[in-house]
């Protein structure tokens, strides 16, 4: 097989990149380890910045998103008692859209065949070769047969656990990491949300988040210790805890229901530099991870791909290597700012093993300052809605 750009991974990064390249007439093939049903069914994030919705619209794939997505003009921070509204639209002129990553992924996968974007599903033993040469390739096993995809460039969009980042020699790279001493226990349920906007709550018992997927589907999270067992959290116990941590106003409007999905995810901050080595370009979770506080993960994957697609399309039109060479630095400048915002909001909103009365008082004082300062709320709003490309 031969193509111009071999894309490893069909998460949001790989799918958006594949579509953007095909739209510009650049050949691309996606090689994905999982089955199509698995990828299309994964429950992930749900808040889209303008960068992400713009890409879907530019691709002509924003129709269902604009019909079913919930436009949000603000969100709330809470201290266990009161809500502090961050008036995102009033402060920035922009909005975010609640539309599940599951739905976005489905729209992109369904449109792939008609746009000539080939996706090889269930590819085993995916490996990268000769990334330092100008004839790189990707080998894999599909339907029991060993195959090789020759290409000019490889885009590593294979998430945190994929092989792309590991193909870069350690001597050429630098890793930055912060592991957080807790995880998020999430529940998805077919019940109306307790509030029309998201609520991030810092309660003495720990963090909680009220989010949603639609007017009839809610997504909630609570902070739990890293060694917590999901079996220790039957639905009723989780609803009780959410009601306590989200505060009286949210609790009064909370509808309980059986869990459609329940899982625990650890929190991690991670950046790998540079995002390019030879003919290999990393995008999305393959190069960086943010804790979910602030919903930056998916949107960072989208902004990486906005930069990378532009660079690859210019190069394919014989614009030379300059844009390709500038990709990593450009993408990382935005990545670090989103890392900072996610790190800051995580620190402000969670209970840490060493959170004593003083640290708690500092968090409450900061929330009180935010409540009274338009300057602070503006800074939060412009980060939440997404920094410009
Ligand atoms: N070979 C091929 N594909 C692989 C391999 C492999 N060895 N390993 C992983 N993959 C695939 C995964 O199955 C997945 O479909 O790469 C894809 C990576 O997708 P994501 O993890 O969704 O990462 P990304 O596209 O960068 O999107 C980042 O998605 O999951 C969220 O929290 C994440 O919101 C963030 C966003
Ligand atoms: C979600 O709805 O899954 C969600 C929303 C906001 C976050 C994280 C997750 O910050």
DSSP count for the chain of H helices, then E strands:
12, 20
Contact status, residue 167 vs residue 293, Cβ threshold 8 Å: no
Ligand 2 pocket: which residues have CB below 6 Å? Answer: 45-47, 198, 211, 219, 292-295
The pLDDT tens digits of the residues spanning 355-374 come to 999 999 999 999 999 999 99
Position in ligand 1 atom list of the atom nearest CA 283: 26
Confidence category of residue 279, pLDDT binned at 50, 70, 90? very high
pLDDT of residue 373: 98
Q: How many residues does the chain have?
A: 389
What is the pLDDT at residue 280?
98
21-51 pLDDT, tens digit each? 999 999 999 999 999 999 998 888 899 999 9
Quick check: pTM over 0.95? yes
Percent of the chain topping pLDDT 70 = 100
- Mean pLDDT of the region 85-95: 98
> Residue with the nearest Cα to atom 19 of ligand 1?
11
Q: For residue 353, what pLDDT is reported?
A: 95
Q: Whose CA is nearest to atom 31 of ligand 1?
A: 298
Q: What integer is the mean pLDDT of 333-344?
A: 98
Decide: 254 in ligand 1 pocket, CB within 6 A. Answer: no
Q: In the prediction, which pLDDT does 44 show?
A: 87
pLDDT for residue 11: 97
What pLDDT score does 297 carry?
A: 97
**Ligand 2 atom nearest to 98, measured from its CA:** 2
283 pLDDT more than 90: yes
**What is the whole-number distance in angstroms between the Cα of residue 272 and the centre of ligand 2?**
24
Atom of ligand 2 at shortest range from CA of 295: 10
Paired tokens of 214: 């639609």
Per the structure block, which two tokens stand in for 345? 């909001």
Residue 320 predicted with pLDDT over 90: no
User: 10 CB less than 6 Å from ligand 1?
Assistant: yes
Q: What's the pLDDT band for 80 if we cut at 50, 70, 90?
A: confident
With cut-offs at 50, 70 and 90, classify the pLDDT of residue 87. Answer: very high
Q: Is the CB of 36 under 6 A from ligand 1?
A: no
**141: Cβ below 6 Å to ligand 1?**
no
Whether 14 shows a pLDDT value over 90: the answer reads yes
Residue 131's pLDDT is 98
- Nearest alpha carbon to residue 359 among 233, 211, 178, 204: 204
CA dihedral defined by 265, 269, 272, 274, rounded to 10 degrees? 130
Task: Answer whether residue 319 shows pLDDT above 90.
Answer: no
Which pLDDT tens digit goes with each residue over 225-250? 999 999 999 999 999 999 999 999 99
Please report the pLDDT score of residue 84 as a whole number.
97
Give Cβ neighbours of residue 108 (< 8 Å, ≥ 6 apart).
Answer: 12, 15, 16, 19, 61
Query: Which residue segments constitute the domains of the chain, with CATH numbers given?
Result: 5-72+100-177+268-346 (3.50.50.60), 180-267+358-385 (3.30.9.10)
> Ligand 1: which residue has its CA nearest to atom 1?
33
Which atom of ligand 1 is the closest one to the Cα of 286?
26
Residue 68 pLDDT > 90, yes or no? yes
Strand order through the sheet with 261-273: 83-86, 75-78, 199-203, 206-214, 217-224, 174-189, 261-273, 288-289
292 CB within 6 A, ligand 1: no
Distance from Cα 386 to the centre of ligand 2, integer Å: 15
The mean pLDDT value of the chain amounts to 97
Q: Is the CB of 30 under 6 A from ligand 1?
A: no
* Confidence band for 212, pLDDT divided at 50, 70 and 90: very high
Cα of 310 vs centre of ligand 1, distance in Å, is 21
Rounded distance, CA 12 to CA 237, Å?
33
Which residues make Cβ contacts (< 8 Å) with residue 141, sequence separation at least 6?
123, 124, 125, 147
pLDDT of the residue at 45: 87
The pLDDT of residue 43 = 86
**Rg (alpha carbons) of the chain, rounded to whole number:** 21
What pLDDT is stored for residue 71 in this prediction? 97
Q: What is the C-alpha separation between 384 and 353, in angstroms, rounded? A: 27
Q: How many angstroms does the Cα of residue 39 sit away from the middle of ligand 1?
A: 9
Ligand with minimal distance to 293 CA: 2
Q: Do the beta carbons of residue 241 and residue 186 sit within 8 Å?
A: no
Mean per-residue pLDDT for 167-191? 97
Nearest CA to ligand 2 atom 3: 45
Q: Which residue's alpha carbon is at the smallest distance from atom 34 of ligand 1?
A: 298
Whether 84 lines ligand 1, by a CB cut-off of 6 Å, is no
Give the tens place of pLDDT for each residue, 120-170.
Answer: 999 999 999 999 999 999 999 999 999 999 999 999 999 999 999 999 999
Q: What pLDDT, on a 0 to 100 scale, did the predictor assign at position 363? A: 97
């Amino acid at each position: 097989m031969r193509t111009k750009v071999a894309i490893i991974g069909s998460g949001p990064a790989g799918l958006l990149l594949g579509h953007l390249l095909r739209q510009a007439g650049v050949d691309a093939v996606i090689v994905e380890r999982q089955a199509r049903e698995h990828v299309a069914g994964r429950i992930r994030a749900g808040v889209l910045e303008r960068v992400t919705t713009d890409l879907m619209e530019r691709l002509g794939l924003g129709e269902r998103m604009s019909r079913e997505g919930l436009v949000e003009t603000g969100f709330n921070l809470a201290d266990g008692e009161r809500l502090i509204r961050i008036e995102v639209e009033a402060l920035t002129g922009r909005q975010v859209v609640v539309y599940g990553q599951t739905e976005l992924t489905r729209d992109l996968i369904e449109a792939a065949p008609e746009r000539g974007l080939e996706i090889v599903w269930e590819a085993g033993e995916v490996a990268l070769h000769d990334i330092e040469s100008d004839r790189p390739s990707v080998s894999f096993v599909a339907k029991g047969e060993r195959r090789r995809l020759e290409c000019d460039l490889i885009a590593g969009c294979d998430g945190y656990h994929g092989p792309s980042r590991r193909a870069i020699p350690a001597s050429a790279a630098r890793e930055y990491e912060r592991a957080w001493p807790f995880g998020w226990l999430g529940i998805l349920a077919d019940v109306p949300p307790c509030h029309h906007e998201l609520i991030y709550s810092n309660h003495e018992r720990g963090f909680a988040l009220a989010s949603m997927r639609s007017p009839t589907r809610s997504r909630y999270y609570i902070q739990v210790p890293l060694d917590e067992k999901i079996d220790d959290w039957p639905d009723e116990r989780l609803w009780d805890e959410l009601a306590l941590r989200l505060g009286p106003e949210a609790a009064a409007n909370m509808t309980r229901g059986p869990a459609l999905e329940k899982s625990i995810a650890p929190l991690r901050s991670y950046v790998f530099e540079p995002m390019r080595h030879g003919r290999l370009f990393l995008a999305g979770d393959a190069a960086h991870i943010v804790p979910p506080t602030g919903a930056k993960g998916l949107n960072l994957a989208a902004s990486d791909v906005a930069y990378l697609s532009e660079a690859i399309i210019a190069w394919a039109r014989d614009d030379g290597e300059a844009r390709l060479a500038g990709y990593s630095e450009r993408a990382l400048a935005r990545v670090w700012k989103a890392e900072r915002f996610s790190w800051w909001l995580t620190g402000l909103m969670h209970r840490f093993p060493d959170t004593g009365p003083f640290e708690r008082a500092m968090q409450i004082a900061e929330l009180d300052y935010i409540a009274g300062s338009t300057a602070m709320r503006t800074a939060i709003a412009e980060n939440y809605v997404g920094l410009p490309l």
